Every structure is written in C-alpha cells, then in structure tokens.
Amino acid sequence: MKKILAVDDSASMRQMVSFTLKKAGFDVTDAKDGVDALNVAKTSEFDLIISDVNMPNMDGITLISELRQLAQYKFTPMLMLTTESGLEKKSAGKAAGATGWIVKPFNPDQLLATINKVLR
C-alpha cells in the first residue's frame, strides 16, 4: 500500500484529503503544519507528500525544501495545494523542489486524478 503524508492546517481539508485517499486505498498519515509534517516524515518513509502552502509554524514551501534535503525524500513526489491567487507560489514551490501542484478548490475526483500523475 502506498503511503501518503497529507499536510494542511485546516482540519476539514485534512480530513477531506485523508478520507478521499484512504477510500482510494492509500495509507494516509496527516500533519497540521510543516513542523509536524517534518517530524512525522523523518520517522517514516512516504511515497507521496501533499502539502498546503500557507500554514503556521512552517509553510509548505519550506517543508518541501527541508524534505528534499533528506536522503529518503530526494526523489519523492511532493505536491502543493495552492489557490489560484497563489499562482506565484508555484515557481517558489518548484524552486524548493515541489513536483507539482493541485489548485484549490478541488474535489475528490480531481485530487485522485492528480495523484495518478505521480503514483502509478
């Protein structure tokens, strides 16, 4: 079973993403901000990281660049959840090592379709 780490400071988004992914057969762990995610990621190994961008404590872009420094996440796909108004974040995200992005708002089907691009 593929393991996914879902990071979002919003509990409802976190639950929605986790629920959708679990239902689709993934093993999902969630985290509420970058610091939380980094701690979880260090003690485990995930096949995909999905992270919100704007979060307290540590934002998604910093999280991605931190994770890329870790040997086990060198090539791991990492997607950022971003809103349209945050388009300029995309390049910052890419520079930090993000694989791609999912534009909010999205529905469960769009989420799964996007994940299909990186987890086959």
Q: Please list every residue from 2 through 21 that binds other proteins, using CB under 8 A.
A: 9-13, 15-16, 19-20
Out of 28, 78, 89, 115, the only residue in the binding site for other proteins (CB under 8 A) is 78
The pairing of beta strand 3-7 with beta strand 27-31: parallel
Q: How many residues form the binding site for other proteins (CB under 8 A)?
A: 40
Cβ proximity to other proteins: between 10 and 62 the closer is 10
Q: How far is the CB of 79 from other proteins (least distance, A)?
A: 9
Question: Which residues lie below 8 Å from residue 17, measured CB to CB, with a gap of 6+?
Answer: 6, 8, 28, 30, 50, 81, 111
Nearest to 62 by CA among 88, 36, 96, 87: 96
Q: Does 104 bind other proteins (CB under 8 A)?
A: yes
Q: Does 44 bind other proteins (CB under 8 A)?
A: no
Q: Does 120 bind other proteins (CB under 8 A)?
A: yes
Sheet holding 3-7, edge to edge: 27-31, 3-7, 48-52, 78-83, 100-104
DSSP 116: T
Q: How far apart are CA 46 and CA 109, in angstroms?
A: 22
Interacting residues with other proteins (CB under 8 A) = 9-13, 15-16, 19-20, 23-24, 54-56, 68, 74-78, 81, 83, 85, 91, 94, 97-101, 104-109, 112, 117-118, 120
